[in-house]
Structure 1
Amino acid sequence: MARPVAQTAFARRTAVPVAALLAACVAVALCVLVLGGRRAASDQGAASLRESILSAAGQCAAVEGAYPADLDHLVGAYGIRFDPSAYDVRYEAFADNVAPTVEVRAR
């Protein structure tokens, strides 16, 4: 038995919006995954930079007998390199014999 014309036309009209909705959902899911991955990578980079700064400060204290007073000393003498536009670094030295406080945040 043949289908009525109205049922066939309705089936065609509903198939297109469902496919478009499915494609939009997949696109949104991919964007969320990509942006989430970038954020995790920048957080991992910030943690790695913080550990590098603390390690260089410890090495400086062992070699020179005191922790460095500022981050510029570590950059110049101990090879710390980072992109200031990508990371916000806060380095606070309290005293020569106390380890500095280091905070690194991805921008």
Structure 2
Amino acid sequence: MARFYHGKKEHHFRRLVLSTLLFCSIAACFYVGVDSVSSRTKEEQKKSLEAAIQRGITHCFAVEGRYPESLTYLKKEYGIQYDSNDFFVDYQIAGANIMPDVTIIEK
């Protein structure tokens, strides 16, 4: 049994602690990276939704000669889609020939 023992037990404990610390450091870096990418993706989704809604409003005005009366109409007739669990869209009409005020809030 003694021929397989090459050192003190403290040396094995030190390796275990260093391995655990290295693993935790790598896991933390991975988590921070994924979180950063996730927040950038949300921001890009918001910008894309803003652009899609503005294009839909403009297209409706060009085709029909009036602005959409509601967000529901815009979604139904012009194919605007978004995840309502991720974003809240406030669509306010100011008048028949005034472009609606659209506010998008990330939940």
The answer to whether the Cα contact below 8 Å between 1:66 and 1:96 also exists between their aligned partners in 2 is: yes
Q: Which 5+ residue runs of structure 2 have no aligned equivalent?
A: 1-6
1-structure distance, mates of 2:103, 2:47: 9
Q: Which runs of 4+ in 1 moved over 4 A?
A: none
How high is the TM-score relative to the length of structure 2?
Answer: 0.81
Aligned-pair distance for 1:12? 3.0
The DSSP-based 3-state class of the residue aligned with 2:98 is coil
**Aligned-partner residue type, residue 39 of structure 2:** R
Other-structure match for 1:92:
92
2-structure distance, mates of 1:51, 1:57: 10
1-structure distance, mates of 2:62, 2:34: 42
Aligned-pair distance for 1:66? 1.7
Other-structure match for 1:56:
56
1:25-61 deviations in whole A, cap 9, x for unaligned? 1101101111221221122111101110111101111
Q: Which 5+ residue runs of structure 1 have no aligned equivalent?
A: 1-6
Identity between Structure 1 and Structure 2 (%): 26
